[in-house]
């Protein structure tokens, strides 16, 4: 492995970032805990998009729970306060560093397709159906993996019973949380869909209207569901009355009779739910600048795609480049690795996925050969062949990147013993399928729309077509970075396929460009996914860098907001730093157990 001089990770925040000064409060309806994007201290750290959720995790750490316990409590609280991004109706990927064994392990809690699914799941008369008809439907609902993920994580590494860890979230659902502008805006964006499902509109449009900013939002049905899972275990979601309700809802979505929307049923069965299992495959690992970067293996494309891009970038000293050349290299590495992801990555239980080869430095070097300092590549770019890498060679036909929604949520936790969790979870679109399970208080996912509805290009093999029991390809990239076998950094983000570029940009911003973690997260983002144009946030769109990149052939379009990352970092003095967004999605929430010694 090529190893240029290892870099010292930059430490604390630059001016402008707020720093936590107070201890986390237990969850309550009012006032919510203060939301700050960076916190430094001892005893462990939590970073999530939501202050009530981070506080739930901190409360667990403070009472002696470990990072896995806190991650489950935080995730459960996110199911209450971020119900349009994640919840027990969805799935996700859990990456864990175990301080005792010094190992990184993962849980694949991805949703699965019904046993009857075929490659034509989203086709009619041989043609793909409109995306919206897959999204707002029973057809797009996969078997939820989130409750089983919590069980797998707690069975393997937890120290607290699920019932205890669900209590803060249950209380939050029962007593309510304070509605903020992001929650109202996300509800507004879904209003038309939500109105078509009485159970959804009753819950999320209280009194028939959008929730008012500053009001208290309660979800007693979800509180009761959490209480039932606490009493009976997460198996209660996979067999018994809750499972029966899920199956009934998917097979005959409870639509308002006045709705004009075509809502397709799904073919999920009780047997599909009973058969669900998480997977414990090995993480991806690559070496980068003397660090070991671990992430999620397929069925997520996160680990292989971020890993390949880092391997491509490792041959260049990104820290020594101009900002323009850094962005150029970052965009090109993203473009190339997305071309390879599209051709080679799908669910390894159903497809022959060359995970090891995609992560080889030899393959990365063969692909890096395509990058020129003064001329941008054009997309769609054809993939390379990881099993037969040859410099600058491509294989087969180029295919565009298929659509993925831009939602999801990520949380990052570290504890006093040095255990770390990086966990990304989702219900796919913002608002998922828009279908609430009546009287249960949670939305069902539309994760199966992460499958390609049809081959990405005619005649090009597509490893991401639906199949029986198959997991749709994800972009989730929960990442943990080790130095000399100990965690120094963990990051992740929501954002559909932009997750990959967000994690890549955050890692290179921090490791190579010397940005403190909170500033690497806040930096304006670009996202290239083997598409003709690269998306730019306003901070880059409105900067002179755009013209400089256009002069070497890049094309751009605007995206107002890409991703919503969180991370933790271990400082050399043993303190933990938690970092979150300064403004995206209304800003994130970083907390530590003992916020002492802040700069
Ligand atoms: N649904 C978003 C992802 O899996 O990447």
| Residue 182 pLDDT exceeds 90 | yes
Q: Please tell me the total number of residues recorded for the chain in this structure.
A: 599
- pTM comes to 0.95
- Contacts for 224-229: CB closer than 8 Å, 24+ residues apart: 224/441, 225/88, 225/440, 225/441, 225/442, 226/76, 226/166, 226/169, 226/170, 226/173, 227/166, 227/170, 229/88, 229/147, 229/162, 229/166
Q: Find the mean pLDDT for residues 191-211.
A: 97
Q: How far is the C-alpha of 21 from the C-alpha of 170, rounded, in Å? A: 27
The interaxial angle of helices 146-157 and 67-81, nearest 10 deg, is 160
Phi-psi region of 208 (alpha: psi -120 to 50; beta: other; left: phi over 0): left
What is the model's pLDDT at position 17? 33
Considering only CA atoms, which of 559, 563, 558 is closest in space to residue 584? 563
Pairwise pLDDT comparison (3 vs 580), residue with the higher score: 580
Considering only CA atoms, which of 37, 11, 7, 96 is closest in space to residue 569? 11
Tell whether omega for the bond before 69 is within 30 degrees of 0, i.e. cis: no
What is the model's pLDDT at position 6? 44
Query: In 158-197, which residue ranges form alpha helices assigned H by DSSP?
Result: 162-175, 181-195
Q: Find the mean pLDDT for residues 555-568.
A: 97
State the distance from the centre of ligand 1 to the C-alpha of 477, rounded, in angstroms: 9
Q: Find the mean pLDDT for residues 335-344.
A: 97
Q: Find the mean pLDDT for residues 530-559.
A: 98
State the distance from the centre of ligand 1 to the C-alpha of 41, rounded, in angstroms: 32
Query: Ligand 1 pocket check: which of 499, 503, 529 to mutate, most ligand atoms within 8 Å of Cβ?
Result: 499
C-alpha distances in Å from residue 261, one per residue of 169, 189, 194? 34, 16, 11
**Banded pLDDT at 480 (limits 50, 70, 90):** very high
- Say what percent of the chain tops pLDDT 90: 90
475 assigned ligand-binding residue: yes
Whole-number CA gyration radius for the chain: 22
Which residues sit with their C-beta closer than 6 Å to ligand 1?
Answer: 404, 408, 426, 428, 450, 474-476, 496, 499
Q: Active site includes 395?
A: no
Quick: pLDDT tens for 270-283: 999 999 999 999 99
| Residue 2 pLDDT exceeds 60 | no
What is the model's pLDDT at position 172? 98
State the distance from the centre of ligand 1 to the C-alpha of 340, rounded, in angstroms: 18
Q: How far is the C-alpha of 500 from the C-alpha of 42, rounded, in Å? A: 30
| Residue 512 pLDDT exceeds 90 | yes
Q: Which helix (DSSP H) or strand (DSSP E) does residue 228 occupy? A: helix 220-232
Q: Which of 408, 426, 479, 506 is catalytic?
A: 408
Q: Are strands 127-128 and 566-570 parallel, antiparallel or unpaired?
A: unpaired
Tokens of 463: 């490893």
Q: How far is the C-alpha of 145 from the C-alpha of 139, rounded, in Å? A: 17
110 assigned ligand-binding residue: yes
Q: Which helix (DSSP H) or strand (DSSP E) does residue 582 occupy? A: none
State the distance from the centre of ligand 1 to the C-alpha of 446, rounded, in angstroms: 10
Nearest 5°: the CA angle 298, 302, 305 is: 100
Query: Ligand 1 pocket check: which of 404, 410, 429 to mutate, most ligand atoms within 8 Å of Cβ?
Result: 404
Quick: pLDDT tens for 76-125: 999 999 999 999 999 999 999 999 999 999 999 999 999 999 999 999 99
The whole-chain average pLDDT of the chain stands at 93
What is the model's pLDDT at position 456? 80
| Residue 519 pLDDT exceeds 80 | yes
Quick: pLDDT tens for 228-248: 999 999 999 999 999 999 999
| Residue 255 pLDDT exceeds 80 | yes
């Amino acid at each position: 492995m090529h190893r240029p001089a290892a870099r010292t990770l930059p430490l604390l925040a630059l001016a402008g970032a707020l720093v936590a000064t107070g201890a986390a409060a237990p969850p309550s309806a009012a006032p919510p805990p203060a939301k700050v994007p960076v916190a430094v201290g001892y005893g462990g750290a939590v970073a999530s998009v939501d202050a009530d959720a981070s506080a739930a995790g901190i409360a667990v750490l403070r009472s002696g729970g470990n990072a896995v316990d806190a991650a489950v409590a935080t995730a459960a609280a996110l199911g209450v306060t971020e119900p349009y991004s994640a919840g027990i109706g969805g799935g996700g990927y859990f990456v864990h560093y175990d301080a005792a064994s010094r190992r990184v392990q993962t849980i694949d809690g991805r949703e699965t397709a019904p046993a009857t699914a075929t490659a034509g799941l989203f086709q009619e008369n041989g043609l793909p159906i409109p995306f919206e008809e897959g999204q707002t439907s029973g057809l797009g609902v996969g078997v939820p993996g989130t409750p089983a993920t919590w069980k797998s994580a707690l069975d393997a590494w937890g120290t607290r019973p699920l019932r205890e860890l669900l209590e803060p979230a249950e209380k939050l659902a029962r007593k309510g949380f304070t509605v903020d502008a992001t929650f109202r805006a996300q509800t507004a964006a879904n209003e038309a869909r939500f109105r078509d499902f009485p159970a959804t509109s009753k819950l999320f449009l209280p009194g028939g209207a959008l929730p008012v900013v500053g009001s208290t939002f309660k979800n007693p049905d979800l509180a009761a569901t959490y209480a039932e899972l606490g009493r009976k275990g997460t198996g209660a979601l996979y067999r018994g009355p809750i499972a029966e309700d899920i199956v009934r809802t998917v097979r005959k979505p409870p639509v308002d009779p006045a709705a004009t929307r075509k809502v397709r049923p799904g073919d999920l069965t009780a047997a599909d739910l009973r058969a669900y299992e998480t997977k414990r495959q090995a993480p991806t690992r690559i070496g980068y600048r003397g660090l070991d970067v671990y992430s999620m293996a397929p069925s997520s494309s996160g680990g292989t795609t971020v890993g390949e891009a880092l391997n491509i970038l490792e041959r260049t000293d990104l820290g020594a480049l101009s900002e323009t050349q850094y962005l150029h290299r970052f965009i090109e590495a993203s473009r190339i690795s997305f071309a390879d992801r599209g051709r080679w990555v799908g669910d390894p239980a159903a497809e022959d996925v060359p995970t090891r080869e995609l992560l080889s430095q030899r393959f990365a070097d063969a692909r890096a050969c395509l990058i020129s300092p003064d001329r941008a590549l054009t997309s769609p770019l054809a993939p390379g062949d990881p099993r037969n890498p040859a410099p600058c060679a491509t294989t087969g036909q180029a295919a565009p990147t298929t659509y993925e929604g831009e939602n999801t949520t990520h949380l990052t936790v570290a504890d006093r013993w040095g255990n770390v969790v990086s966990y990304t979870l989702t219900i796919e679109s913002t608002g998922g399928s828009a279908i609430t399970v009546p009287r249960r208080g949670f939305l069902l996912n539309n994760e199966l729309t992460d499958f390609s509805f049809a081959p990405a290009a005619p005649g090009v093999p597509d490893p991401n077509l639906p199949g029986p029991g198959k997991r749709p390809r994800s972009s989730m990239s929960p990442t943990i970075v080790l130095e000399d076998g100990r965690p120094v950094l963990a990051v992740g983000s929501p954002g559909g396929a932009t997750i990959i570029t967000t994690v890549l940009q955050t890692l290179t911003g921090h490791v190579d460009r010397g940005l403190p973690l909170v500033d690497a997260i806040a930096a304006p983002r670009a996202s290239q996914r083997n598409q003709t144009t690269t998306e730019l946030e306003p901070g880059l769109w409105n900067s002179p860098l755009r013209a400089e990149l256009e002069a070497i052939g890049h094309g751009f379009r605007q995206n107002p907001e890409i991703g919503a990352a969180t991370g933790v970092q271990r400082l050399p003095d043993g303190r933990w730093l938690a970092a979150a967004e300064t403004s995206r999605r209304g800003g994130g929430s970083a907390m530590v157990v003992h916020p002492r010694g802040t700069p």
